Structure 1
Amino acid sequence: MDELTGRVAVVTGAASGIGRAIAERCLDAGMRVALVDVELDSLTRTAHELDPAGSRTLTRQVDVRDPAQVEHLAAAVVAHFGAVHLLCNNAGVDAGGPFVDISDATWRWVMDVNFFGVVNGCRAFLPALRASGEGHIVNTASMAAVNAGMRTMAPYIGSKFAVLGVSENLAVELAESDPGIGVSVLLPGGVQTRMTDSERNRPADVPPSDDPLRQSVVDGIRSATARDGLDPSDVAVAVLDAVRDRSFYILTHREPALEAIAQRLEWMRTNAQPLPRVLR
């Protein structure tokens, strides 16, 4: 899909971070954009800042964990804009702790947002993409999908591995059934977002994590991304380039990602487990 002007994009997690940056780049490219997030106040503010007149955006508060809400979103976008051409399943959260201490509710929350949010989006919007005759899906995973050595992050890592696997499988399937629809998976490394503050949206049944090791890991990630993390706008540029070029893998930190994959291959060959990676 090399021509974006006049097309319609849907971006979840659009109120901040990578999602907001993707939405802004889509608008800059001449697209109309459905801005979707669970945080209504931030979403409303973002919509006003990106499109003060409100003529090129549609704003919807949606919990991507709920298939019915995502189905209603798809219907609303088609009714408002007449079509969908680009779907960015970007909403994501992080919560965790030492493995044996992670609650069932924590596992469900992270998997439901990060993984089932992607599944729900793809299922709800594929009919509209097919009706458009061409389109593209971008699913946000993480470099954690190829680098599993971060302690206390099992739910997040598991969810992102799942997004990567489903995205690869979907790309293969659509290449046969719907060659006009491309698929990309975004594997961002450190990016200056609010991911380390995910618990601001924690449901009431998900207990806060006050484990010292967990806090140390989160503080390390927060410090590293503040110091060295990419600006979300740089990630958004890479996303739209991938859409135009029909590239599957979007690697914001190419060399570290390839190194992590090489370590995994070496682990497969030798069974010599690599040391876990720890952010300092």
Structure 2
Amino acid sequence: MITNFKGKTAVLTGAGSGFGLECARVGARLGMNLVLADVQQDALDKAAHEMQAAGVQVLAVRLDVSKASEVEALGVAVQQRFGAPHFVFNNAGVGAGGLIWENTAQDWEWVIGVNLMGVAHGVRVFTPMMLDAAKNDPAYLGHIVNTASMAGLLNAPNMGIYNASKHAVVSMSETLYQDLALVTDQIGASVLCPFFVPTGISQSHRNRPAEAAPVKLTNSQLIGQAMSDKAVGSGKVSAADVAQMVFDAVVANQFYIYSHPKAIGSVQTRLEDIMLARNPTDPFSHKPELGVALKRALRVG
């Protein structure tokens, strides 16, 4: 949809690190006005300073995307400063692992609050602003990108809350795409489904609210954290690579954005399981030693 980004406005949540920061860097190179939102003040300040030094207009807002009122206030601030945005990247996300029955109510509230409701609030606040802009200007073009994960298309064990939240984001994004197509040709939508990419996601507990902090991690949660650290840290595709993929997808009006297209084979296997009504395929069938090690570790604890 959008091919000329110069002077256009981008709203990016989770802009202090990972994909959000790298997309902001691409936006700065393209001469966009940048609205940077993040829950971590020091990371936000650093990102805002970097983008201002690049010579673009910046509005930096610290907010918790799980809070409806804070995202609504962001919408008002964006409208007042830049008008309706052209590009919205609902990207803020957190990770949590462990056996699904061991997660507390606070675990669920935190992860669903950020990963699902954060995206929902972004869609709810910014889409009407963009539709108004499209109605008033036939030349206006906009695009919304929601960050899900390959965990939104697969269900790896020992990371149930994360899987559930990201499946919901894929569903919401597919629906958004279809709903937008009913009412306008000027606004597109995409869903980003990265695999393991070095970002800050495996350390997202650094921003967990104190009242939601677990008293003590279970054995499965400690194992999940260690596996996440290793997988994310060893990723060969960088967050900067993925940010470029996001902008390329916006230009191409491409809905599904994959950081690791080869991982789609596992999605095909899952869909075949569903179509054939067969039991879920062993996720470790390609690396059985991993499954054996995980079972051993969980059964010892």
TM-score band w.r.t. shorter chain: over 0.9
Task: Compute the TM-score of the two structures, normalised by the length of structure 1.
Answer: 0.94
TM-score, L = length of structure 2: 0.88
Give distance in 2, aligned partners of 1:101 and 1:272: 23
Q: CA deviation at 1:216?
A: 1.9
Provide the rounded CA distance (Å) in 1 between the counterparts of 2:157 and 2:13. Answer: 26
Counterparts of 2:115 and 2:247 in 1: how far apart (Å)? 21
SS of match in other structure, 1:192: coil
Match of 2:298 in 1: none
Q: Which string of whole-angstrom CA distances, capped at 9 and with x for unpartnered residues, describes residues 118-141 of structure 1? A: 010011011221133220000000
Say how many residue pairs are matched.
278
Tell me how far 1:83 sits from its aligned partner: 2.8
Deviations along 1:155-202, one digit per CA (max 9) or x if unpaired, are 111000000001001100101112211000000001111111111111
Which residue of 2 is the match for residue 200 of structure 1?
206
Q: Secondary structure at the match of 1:216?
A: helix
How many Å separate the matches in 1 of 2:259 and 2:97?
24
Q: Name the amino acid aligned to 1:140.
A: T
Listed as ranges, the matches of 1:203-214 within 5 Å are 203-208=209-214, 210-214=217-221
Shifted more, 260-269 versus 169-178: the winner is: 260-269
**Which residue of the other structure, out of 199, 224, 235, is the alignment partner of 2:231?**
224
SS at match of 2:234: helix
- Deviation at 1:224? 2.5
Residue range with higher mean Cα deviation, 105-114 or 197-206: 197-206
Counterpart in 2 of 1:168? 174
> 1:143 matched to which residue of 2?
150
1:180 aligns with 2:186: yes
- Unaligned 5+ segments in structure 1 are none
Question: In structure 2, what is the Cα distance between the partners aligned to 1:68 and 1:255?
Answer: 40
SS of residue matched to 1:172: helix
* Aligned partner of 2:163 among 145, 157, 160: 157
Quote the Cα distance in structure 2 between the aligned partners of 1:69 and 1:147.
31
Q: CA deviation at 1:10?
A: 0.1
- For 2:211, give the aligned amino acid: D
Q: CA RMSD in A?
A: 1.7
Q: Are the counterparts in 2 of residues 15 and 39 from structure 1 also a CA contact under 8 Å?
A: yes
Tell me if 1:3 matches 2:9: no
Which residue pairs with 2:61 in the alignment? 60
Whole-angstrom distance in 2 between the partners of 1:147 and 1:276: 9
- Secondary structure of 1:271's counterpart equals coil
Aligned counterpart, 2:72 = 71
Q: 1:272 to 1:83 in 2, by over 3 A?
A: closer
**Matched letter for residue 4 of structure 1:** F
Provide Cα deviations, 1:191-242, integer angstroms capped at 9, x if missing partner.
1111111111111232335222222222122222322342110000000011
Structure 2 gap segments, 5+ residues each: 135-140, 285-289, 294-301
Counterpart-to-counterpart distance in 2, 1:51 and 1:150: 42
Helix, strand or coil at the partner of 2:5: coil
Whether contact under 8 Å (1:47, 1:54) holds in the other structure is no
Q: Which amino acid aligns with 1:56?
A: Q
Q: Which moved more, 1:181-190 or 1:198-207?
A: 198-207
Measured in 2, the distance between the counterparts of 1:5 and 1:16 equals 23
Please identify the structure whose Cα radius of gyration is greater. 2
Matched, 1:273 2:301: no
Q: Mapping of 1:124-135 within 5 angstroms?
A: 124-133=125-134, 134-135=141-142
User: Which residue identity is paired with 1:124?
Assistant: V
Give how far 1:46 is off: 1.3
